[in-house]
Amino acid sequence: MTWHDIVGLHVAVSTGKSGGVVPLKWSDVPDSLRALTVRMKVALDSTAPVEIAPSWLGARALVSAMGGNGNRIRLGGALAARLSPEALDGVLAHELAHLRCKHLELLLAGCTLAALIGIAVALAIDVPTAARMLLGGGILILSAATLSWLAEYEADSVAAQFVGYDLMARTLLELRDSGFRTRAEFTHPPDGSRVRMLHSARRRHVRCD
């Protein structure tokens, strides 16, 4: 079964149920996902590695506080309906790359450091308290957005090393053309920018081979 078949089946079954999220067992998902997790050396939850959010337009890696055995991928049914099976493979590889690179943990550490720097800078200058708060908060927000964008670029590049640069480029183009993200966001750069960065990463990868 393809991801479209799986999502369609479980969205239909979940109609009328509360909670809005449908956990999938390993037996419910394509064998290709298990193979990809092995190749990428990423651990997902042993019971329910994937969650389907029927009406959600997005995808996300969910990091468990218990470690790799509790990690999951949440896939939005609304997003799956807009993309081809190949693009869904690219989306899942991208989310697995976030887990492989420990982006959430690095983002939290980076934001903590940025907050401390913001406080230090705000205390070091002689300006009204309101200005200090704005300066400190601005440093934190800018740092968080920058780190998040860098994590997205890296996840695209890492995923491409396992599923192919051509597939990841097509995935990003489908996301752009589907209207999923029409402009830059706080956590995500525009998809056109991601395509350009992916091509740049590909050229660097070729030079290193």
What average pLDDT does the structure give for the chain?
Answer: 87
- Indicate the domain borders of the chain: 3-83, 103-208
- C-alpha span between 20 and 94 (Å, rounded): 23
CB 159 within 8 Å of CB 90: yes
Asked whether residue 112 carries a pLDDT value surpassing 50, the answer given is yes
- C-alpha span between 57 and 75 (Å, rounded): 8
Joined together, the tokens standing for residue 36 give: 């990809």
Asked whether residue 18 carries a pLDDT value surpassing 50, the answer given is no
What confidence score (pLDDT) does residue 66 get?
67
| pLDDT band (50, 70, 90) for residue 55 | confident
Rounded mean pLDDT of 165-191? 87
Q: Are strands 59-62 and 50-53 parallel, antiparallel or unpaired?
A: unpaired
| pLDDT band (50, 70, 90) for residue 209 | low
Q: 2-15, pLDDT tens digit by residue? A: 888 888 887 766 55
- C-alpha span between 84 and 164 (Å, rounded): 16
Q: For 1, which DSSP code?
A: -
> Per the confidence metrics, is the pTM higher than 0.85?
yes
| pLDDT band (50, 70, 90) for residue 88 | very high
- C-alpha span between 15 and 29 (Å, rounded): 20
| pLDDT band (50, 70, 90) for residue 207 | low
